[in-house]
Amino acid sequence: MSGVLPSQFIDEVKRRVSLSGLVSEYVTLKKAGRVHKGLCPFHGEKTPSFQVNDEQGFYHCFGCGASGDAISFLREQAGYSFLEAAEKLAERAGMELPQLEKGARRDGPDRTTKARQLELLREVTRLYQRWLTAAPEAMTYLRDARRLAPETLATFQVGFAPDDWDTLARSLAGRQAEQDGIALGLLAPRERGQGNYDKFRNRIMFPVFAQGGEIVGYSGRTLAKDKDTPKYVNSAESDLFKKSQLLFGLQQAKPTIRAKKRAILVEGNVDVLTLHQAGFSEAVAPMGTALTEDQCRLLKRLTDDVIVCTDGDRAGKKAAMKAVPLLLAAGLRGRVVSLPDGEDPDTFLVRHGAAAFQELCDHKAVPLFDHFVAVAREEGDGTAASNARVAELARPLLMAIESPVERRAYVEKLAVALGADRRALAGLVSAPPAPTRHAAPALAPVAGEKAPAPERDVLALLLHHPEYLPHWHAEQGNAWLSHDGIRLVLDLAWELAEERGRVDGGELLTALELRGQAGLQRRVAQLLAGEDPFGEAAERAFLELVSALRFKADREAKTKARAALVGRPLDEQIGALKGWESIR
C-alpha cells in the first residue's frame, strides 16, 4: 500500500517495531489494561485521551480524533514522507530496505523537496564541523572561554561558518542544493552580480533538531566583538524550521528527561551544552526568544516537572516571570532556580561545582507560583493597592489550574504571601470558566448519511472479531449494506484478511487514509479503540445480524421490484415475481 515499497516489507517492519515504544519517545505513556495511555502529541490537553494499542498496531486520540499506525505517527509527528517514515522504522527494526520500485529512487528527481532539504542540512552540518576544526579563534572560544570538551561538541554536532562571504555558496554552487540553500535561509542571491553569498558568517553553528531527530536549521552565535552584530541568529522560518515549536537540545535531552522525570529550562545554547557536560543532560533552551505555548506542550509530553534556571540578574527574573504562566497553563509543575547575581550556569559551575548546582535544584528551587508572586511583590511597595495588583496578576495563573483542591492550595499560598484574608482572595476564582478541552467528537455518520443501526453493529462486530469476515464474505454480506462507508471498510478489511491472513487495525486505518477517507478513518479508529460490545456473545450476535440484514435486503428488493411493475399487465407482474419466497 506504500506505492514504493512491498506491502510485505511494510508489514514486517511494523510487526518488529513496538508502537508504544516508538510513541513513548515523544509522549509519556502509562499501561492501562490492553492499551497504553498518555497526553495526545497532536493537540494540547491536560487529561490523557490518547491510546496506543500494540496488539492492533494503531493509536487513537479521543480528543482530536488523530489515529493511525507507526508510519502515520512518524509522518504526523516528525513530518516525514511515507518513504522517510518507512526508512526510519526499518532502521529501528534492523532491516535493510528492499530495492525500491520504479520511480522511487532516493537520488532521483522524484524525491520530495523536504527529503532533499533534510539531506542538504546533514551535508552542511558536516561542512560546518570540518570548518570548525580549521578555525583557531572559534576553537579557542569553545575550548578555553567556554570549557567545552570535544565530546560535547561532537554530541551536539557544533560547527563554524567561516568569516567569508561565500565559503558555503561555493561548496553548493551549480547544484540543486544551491536553490534549497536559499529556501532554507543558508544562502541569499547577491544584489549585484551573479551567484549567492552566505547568510551565516563568523558564527559558531549549533544545529537544531526536530522531534524526529532530523536537523532542521541552525542557531548561530557570532564571534564578532562589535555591538551592532546580533549575538545569536536563527535559521529563517520555513516549512522545516519553526522556532516557536522547537527546543534547543531536546533531541539530546529526551532520554535523561524521561529517566529523571524532569527537565531543566535555561536561556541559551551554550548553557545547555555546559549543563549536559556537567551531568545535567536534561537541560534544554528556547530558541533565543521567550518561551512559547508550543514549547511548553513539547515538555509536557515528556514530563510534568520543569526547573526554570535563570541568570541572576533582573532580566533573568523577568524571563522566568513570563515563563511561569505558560508552564502552569500547560499543566506543568516545577520550580525556579535563581542563580546569584551576575552568574549564569557556566560561571556558577566553574565557581561552585556540579554538586552545588544539584543542591540548588533539589533543595533551594522555589515553586513556580511562589516565584511569580515573590517577584511581583518585589516590584510593588507592599501597600494594599500594590498587593491587590499582585493578586490580579496571579488570577490567570489560578484560573489555569483545573483541580479545585490544588487551586485552593495556591489561594492559601497567595493569602499568606500577601497577608490577606483567604476568603477575600477566594473570590478571585469563585467562578472559574470551564477548562478548555478538546472534547471527543460525537460518533458522526461514517460517510454522509447516518448508517442504519444493524449496519453499524455489524461493522463494530467484524472490526473486533475479524474471524467472522470469511463467513461474511461467503454470504456476500456487503450486498445487503446501504451505507457506502461501511461497505468500503469491510471491503478493505477483507482485502487485508486475504492478503495478510489477518486484519491489522493500523494497516486498515492507513488504507483509509490513502483513500482520502479522514472522517471514516476517525470513526473506525473510535470503534477499534473502544471496548468490544459483543464479547462472548459475538457468534450469536453475528448470526442474528446476518439474518436481520438478509431479511431487510430481501424485503427492500421485493418492494423495489413491485414498484417497478406498477402499471404493467397483471400476468407480467405475476411472472416477474414468480420464484420470490414470501416474506413472513
**Residue 446 carries which side chain, given as an amino acid letter?**
V
- Percent of the chain's residues with pLDDT above 90: 28
Please tell me the predicted confidence (pLDDT) of residue 476: 82
| 68-79 per-position pLDDT tens digit | 889 888 887 776
Query: Contact 313/341 with Cβ under 8 angstroms?
Result: yes
Q: Is it the case that residue 162 has pLDDT exceeding 70?
A: yes
| 370-422 per-position pLDDT tens digit | 888 888 888 877 788 888 888 888 888 887 776 777 778 888 888 888 887 77
Give the pLDDT band of residue 178 (cuts 50, 70, 90).
very high
Please tell me the predicted confidence (pLDDT) of residue 99: 63
426-441 mean pLDDT: 45
304-324 mean pLDDT: 83
Out of 60-64, 128-132, 397-401, 577-581, which region has the weakest mean confidence (pLDDT)?
Answer: 577-581
| 189-207 per-position pLDDT tens digit | 998 878 899 999 999 999 9
490 vs 329: CA distance, rounded Å: 43
| 116-127 per-position pLDDT tens digit | 899 999 999 999
Please tell me the predicted confidence (pLDDT) of residue 27: 86
More confident of the two residues 581 and 417: 417
Please tell me the predicted confidence (pLDDT) of residue 572: 59
More confident of the two residues 267 and 431: 267
Give the pLDDT band of residue 249 (cuts 50, 70, 90).
very high
Out of 5-19, 98-112, 411-425, 457-471, which region has the weakest mean confidence (pLDDT)?
Answer: 98-112
- Which letter, b or e, does each residue of 172-207 get, where b requires 16 or more Cβ atoms within 10 Å of its Cβ? beeeebbebbbebbbbeeeeeeeebbbbbbbbbbbb
Please tell me the predicted confidence (pLDDT) of residue 583: 41
- Residue 325 makes CB contacts below 8 A (sequence gap 6+) with 372, 396, 397, 400
Look at strands 366-367 and 333-338 and give their pairing: antiparallel
Q: Nearest CA to 264 among 319, 309, 297?
A: 309
Q: Is it the case that residue 575 has pLDDT exceeding 70?
A: no
- Residue 526 makes CB contacts below 8 A (sequence gap 6+) with 60, 62, 65, 440, 443
Q: Is it the case that residue 573 has pLDDT exceeding 60?
A: no
| 21-52 per-position pLDDT tens digit | 999 888 889 988 888 999 888 776 777 889 99
Please tell me the predicted confidence (pLDDT) of residue 438: 32
The verdict on pTM exceeding 0.85 is: no
Out of 8-12, 163-167, 220-224, 270-274, which region has the weakest mean confidence (pLDDT)?
Answer: 8-12
Which residue(s) pair with 263 in the sheet?
306
